[in-house]
Amino acid sequence: MDYWQSIVLGIVEGVTEFLPISSTAHLVLTGNILNIPETEFLKSFEIAIQLGAILAVVWLYGKKVALNQEIIKKVLAAFIPTAILGFLLYNIFKSFLLENLVVIAWALLLGGVFLVIFEYWRQSGGEEKTNTVASVESISYKNCFLIGICQSIAIVPGVSRAAATILGGLFIGIERKTIVEFSFLLAVPTMLAATGYDLLKNGFAFSADQFGLLSLGFIVSFLVAILAIKFLLRYIEQHDFKSFGVYRIIVGLILLLIVL
């Protein structure tokens, strides 16, 4: 990997981390398009670079969270299921799932179909039109844990952590803007833990040049993610997620045609 490729991956991560289209899938696909060798460093890079995007959440929401301990406790409650599953399945994720293009393709495709069906179901009256939970502080601990269970499904690359948490929140009656913001916040402990655990296992084997590549990708993803977060918050004021579902279906079908 060179520094230009690190910048490209940083941009991809920053754009996709908080959209319901799977940042991990797009990082893997971009790595393949750029012909970056599938090394242990690349796998670690694809995990660690997400920390840059997570820092964008801290930058935008840090003061609000620091002044509200209730938000911190509820985010941590939602993080528990992912922490347990991630620890138990880390080796499977790193050695098999992360670079499996067939798994990624099917996850993108089926996730897109589900996303479109879910939005049409909501619009047709399959759910109460007025969701009752209008702030992060108002989410119950039970619902926080349920959202965390939804997020844990995203250990499969291509599923999308953002999509899993947002759809789970919408299903249990949380307003769209509220669950989107909660998804942002929940990403912080999730990716901190994933990156920290991976670096503890592999970080000391990195060269100085590789740490430079990680640092560059980190900075780029941080800057781009700030713009992506602001875009999504404006987008959801007048749109649902069907367009993202269609996008996932198209990308998943194209990838399936390539790998199969």
Lowest-pLDDT range of 58-62, 224-228, 256-260: 256-260
pLDDT band of residue 1 (cuts 50, 70, 90) is: confident
Q: Where are the domains of the chain?
A: 3-259
CB within 8 Å of 29: residues ≥ 6 apart: 101, 104, 251, 255
What value does the mean pLDDT take over residues 90-94?
60
HSE at residue 248, side-chain half, CA atoms within 13 A, is 29
Q: What is the 3-state secondary structure of 172-236? A: CCECHHHHHHHHHHHHHHHHHHHHHHHHHHHHHHCCHHHHHHHHHHHHHHHHHHHHHHHHHHHHC
Average pLDDT over residues 176-194: 90
Name the phi and psi angles at 255, rounded to 5: -65, -40
For residue 18, report the phi and psi dihedrals to the nearest 5 degrees. -105, 0
CB atoms within 10 A of CB 124: 8
Backbone region of residue 236 per phi and psi (left: phi > 0; alpha: psi in -120 to 50; beta: other values): alpha
Instruction: Quick: pLDDT tens for 13-33.
Output: 999 999 999 888 898 889 888
Condensed to tens digits (0 to 9), the pLDDT of residues 127-141 reads 545 567 888 989 999
CB 147 within 8 A of CB 168: yes
Query: Are 212 and 7 within 8 A, CB to CB?
Result: no
Q: Do 220 and 51 meet the contact criterion of CB atoms below 8 Å apart?
A: no
Q: What is the pLDDT of residue 99?
A: 66
pTM for the model stands at 0.86
Smallest Cα–Cα separation from 18: which of 134, 190, 171? 190
Answer yes or no: is pLDDT of 80 > 60: yes
pLDDT class of 88 with cuts at 50, 70, 90: confident
User: What is the distance, to the nearest Å, from the Cα of residue 127 to the centroid of all Cα atoms in its chain?
Assistant: 25
* Averaged pLDDT for residues 224-236: 95
**pLDDT for 202:** 63
Angle between helices 176-202 and 141-152 (to 10 degrees): 60
Residue 72 burial by CB count (10 A; 0-12/13-18/19+): exposed, middle or buried? middle
pLDDT higher than 90, residue 191: no
> What pLDDT sits at residue 12?
95
Range among 50-64, 99-113, 208-222, 226-240 rated most confident: 226-240
Q: How many residues does the chain have?
A: 260
